[in-house]
């Protein structure tokens, strides 16, 4: 359908352009109240604890409006910060500062929120898995429209891992694919025959379906709505022959119990779709 797959850098440039276009349009009339050519300094302060992510998007908003803007960050990407922490100071054209403020903060608040929640999930399961390789926390494709690359980047900053980036990045055979293909084995055989060079994962809804998938050569299996007991049985049945991932109903209340079953991966759409922006404040100092 398209000629290429979008890179993170290309997505960032598109995100910033779109954000500035929708907010400024032809003119920021209120910014015109400030005399042209005036340079001011502003700073951003954290109002709550957070893991910081999105510096590149923040910076790009200012540099798009003032190429000479100077941003001095006091924290690194991925740092934990406490309330009252000064994150960054910006010296730039006053009109550019005022016009870039909201789009820049929107990116920083949203991406920091994703990184913060991801870090909570990752920390919650530390040391709980009996799996010798540990257990990874993954996102899903349940992302905000147009912000897929950005949100999945923030998951990585928070210590999580990415499920497939998009439809071009992997094959996930779900129940409707299985039904349309005529069963688990035919669906897997068709996927192998594509020789697409991407990971192939199949979703199963019971231990019997898991056995069918393993018999058909599956190396990556998604356990859908399994009980904790059946997750443990699935780990024993698989015996390392395939990567086992759990998805569906995953939250901070259940993730510890899931990790303790010994599965390899846990994915949750909550990391990217249930986003509550981190509280940050920007003030002009003069």
The answer to whether residues 69 and 101 touch, using CB atoms and an 8 Å cutoff, is no
Confirm whether 225 is a catalytic residue.
no
Confirm whether 273 is a catalytic residue.
no
CA–CA gap between residue 277 and residue 106 (Å, rounded): 8
Who's near 1: CB < 8 A, 6+ residues apart?
none
Catalytic residue among 59, 101, 203, 209: 203
Catalytic residue among 14, 89, 156, 174: 174
The answer to whether residues 250 and 223 touch, using CB atoms and an 8 Å cutoff, is no
CA–CA gap between residue 252 and residue 250 (Å, rounded): 7
Assigned token pair, 210: 């898991």
Confirm whether 224 is a catalytic residue.
yes
Confirm whether 174 is a catalytic residue.
yes
Catalytic residue among 142, 156, 219, 273: 142
Residue for token pair 């991406």: 111
Catalytic residue among 14, 89, 102, 156: 102
CA–CA gap between residue 116 and residue 47 (Å, rounded): 14
Catalytic residue among 23, 77, 224, 279: 224
Confirm whether 219 is a catalytic residue.
no
CA–CA gap between residue 30 and residue 33 (Å, rounded): 6
CA–CA gap between residue 220 and residue 201 (Å, rounded): 5
* Catalytic annotation, residues: 102, 142, 174, 203, 224
């Amino acid at each position: 359908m398209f000629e290429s797959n979008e890179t993170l850098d290309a997505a960032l440039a598109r995100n910033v352009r779109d954000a500035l276009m929708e907010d400024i349009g032809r003119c920021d009339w209120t910014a015109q109240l400030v005399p042209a050519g005036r340079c001011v300094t502003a700073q951003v302060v954290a109002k709550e604890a957070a893991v910081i992510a999105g510096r590149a998007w923040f910076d790009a908003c200012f540099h798009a409006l003032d190429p000479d803007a100077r941003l001095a960050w006091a924290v690194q990407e991925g740092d934990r910060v406490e309330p009252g922490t000064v994150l960054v100071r910006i010296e730039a054209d006053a009109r550019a500062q005022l016009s870039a403020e909201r789009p820049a903060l929107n990116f920083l608040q949203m991406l920091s929120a994703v990184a913060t929640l991801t870090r909570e999930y990752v920390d919650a399961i530390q040391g709980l898995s009996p799996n010798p390789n540990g257990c990874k926390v993954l996102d899903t494709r349940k992302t905000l429209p147009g912000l897929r690359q950005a949100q999945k980047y923030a998951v990585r900053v928070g210590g999580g891992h990415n499920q497939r980036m998009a439809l071009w990045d992997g094959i996930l055979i779900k129940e409707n694919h299985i039904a349309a293909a005529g069963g688990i084995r035919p669906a897997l055989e068709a996927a192998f025959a594509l020789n697409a060079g991407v990971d192939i994962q199949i979703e199963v809804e019971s231990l019997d379906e898991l056995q069918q998938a393993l018999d058909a050569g599956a190396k990556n299996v998604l356990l859908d709505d399994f009980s904790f007991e059946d997750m443990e049985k699935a780990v024993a049945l698989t015996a390392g022959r395939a990567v086992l991932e759990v998805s569906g109903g995953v939250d901070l209340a259940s993730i510890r119990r899931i990790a303790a079953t010994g599965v390899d991966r846990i994915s949750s759409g909550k990391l990217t779709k249930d986003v509550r922006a981190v509280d940050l404040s920007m003030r002009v100092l003069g």
